[in-house]
Amino acid sequence: MAGVLSRTGKLSSVLCNRGVKGLTSSLEATSPLASSTVVKRWVPFQLIRGKEFEKIVLYERGLIKNTTRIGKHIPDSLSNGVISEIKDVNYLYRSTQLKAFLETSKPVHLYVAPRTRISQPLFRAIEYVGGKIKVRVSPNHYVDYIKYMGVL
């Protein structure tokens, strides 16, 4: 999403509090007409948090960042016949991305943040393809989702 600059060329404080300004150069309008149409890009903090979480998990688990597509989607890691996806979200369900990965019948390993809750259909589908769901509870410490949730 983009925030619209005011006539003075400054991004509204509301948008700054909800996200981080992108890496685009500072936009200074040279005329009042130009300043009313200039758009500045910003990155939501959720995206930044998710990317950082992904980098950490890839490093800690010794996974290699993937660039190969499965359908329209690119899994975070694809090695030794295992699809690994890393998510730092509140709730995870059988999205089109995860459905595409599950349809390959390869094991899908999910690495999630402690606050992430998994839908029952996704949990069953991961089990069906021989995958695992791991929760990163602290640096380099991962536990099974079932144990973490206290469900046996």
Tens of pLDDT, residue by residue, the chain (152 residues): 344 433 334 433 333 444 444 433 333 344 444 444 455 578 788 889 999 999 999 999 999 999 999 999 999 999 999 999 999 999 999 999 999 999 998 999 999 999 999 999 999 999 999 999 999 999 999 999 999 998 64
- Segment (H or E) for 148: helix 145-149
Strand partners, 112: 87, 135
Q: Counting every residue, how long is the chain?
A: 152
Q: Is 76 exposed, middle or buried (0-12, 13-18, 19+ CB in 10 A)?
A: buried
